[in-house]
């Protein structure tokens, strides 16, 4: 449970969705879907840990929202969660996310090196270029439609099929990662660097995403 909370949730999923929770429309699909996922995870996990962490799990239970058919008075009056493999588990999607996770590990290592040598400050200041050799090209094709800049928490991701200078990947074979400062201006609301900043006369300091949210 601790590994799941620290690695899968805090270091990966929650880190990625902070942007949409803070910056998307409060009733927008992206934000609501993230909140729904968090609720499903919490509602399941708190039941699973109840026999071991009885008091802690009940404190969580009394503080969280509940569905209309759930017992609110005490976690011990609730059933164990039923497996929902048919709803949530998909082998193809699992394989895709494993590839994304491996690539993200290599990008994070490159970002840390770039921060150490003062190339960038925060990851959102970075423009990431992925150089993919023939070995990596086919595997990358399975995840090329993913929102990689969001997943890496950077402002820009460029993909080049061929060799280039940078940090050779260790988790995603065949990739070389180059980090450079993003030249686009910074949005004062979401802190993402975007070439759309300045396009709006009403909100010249905002990117197009933030302009859309505010309107």
CB 135 within 8 A of CB 166: no
pLDDT digits (tens, 9 = 90+) for 45-77: 999 999 999 999 999 999 999 888 888 899 999
pLDDT digits (tens, 9 = 90+) for 135-155: 899 999 999 999 999 999 999
Mean pLDDT of the chain: 94
Query: Residue 186 gets which letter from DSSP?
Result: B
The residue among 67, 84, 82, 11 whose CA lies nearest residue 2 is: 11
Contacts of residue 49, defined as CB under 8 A and 6 or more positions apart, other chains included, come to: 1, 56, 57
């Amino acid at each position: 449970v601790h590994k799941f909370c620290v690695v899968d949730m805090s270091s990966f999923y929650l880190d990625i969705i902070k942007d949409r929770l803070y910056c998307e429309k409060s009733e927008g699909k992206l934000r609501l879907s993230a909140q729904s996922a968090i609720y499903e995870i919490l509602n399941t996990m708190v039941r699973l840990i109840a026999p071991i962490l009885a008091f802690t799990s009940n404190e969580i239970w009394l503080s969280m929202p509940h569905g209309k058919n759930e017992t609110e008075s005490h976690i011990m009056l609730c059933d164990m969660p039923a497996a929902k493999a048919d709803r949530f588990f998909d082998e193809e999607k699992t394989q895709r996310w494993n590839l994304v996770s491996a690539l993200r590990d290599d990008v994070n290592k490159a970002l840390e090196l770039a921060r150490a040598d003062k190339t960038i400050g925060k990851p959102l200041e970075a423009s990431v270029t992925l150089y993919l050799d023939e070995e990596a090209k086919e595997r990358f094709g399975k995840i090329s439609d993913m929102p990689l800049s969001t997943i890496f928490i950077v402002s820009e991701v460029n993909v080049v099929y061929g060799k280039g200078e940078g940090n050779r990947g260790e988790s995603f074979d065949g990739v070389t990662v180059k980090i450079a400062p993003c030249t686009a201006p910074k949005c004062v609301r979401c802190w993402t660097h975007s070439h759309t900043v300045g396009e709006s006369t009403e909100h010249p300091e905002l990117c197009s995403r933030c302009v859309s949210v505010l309107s």
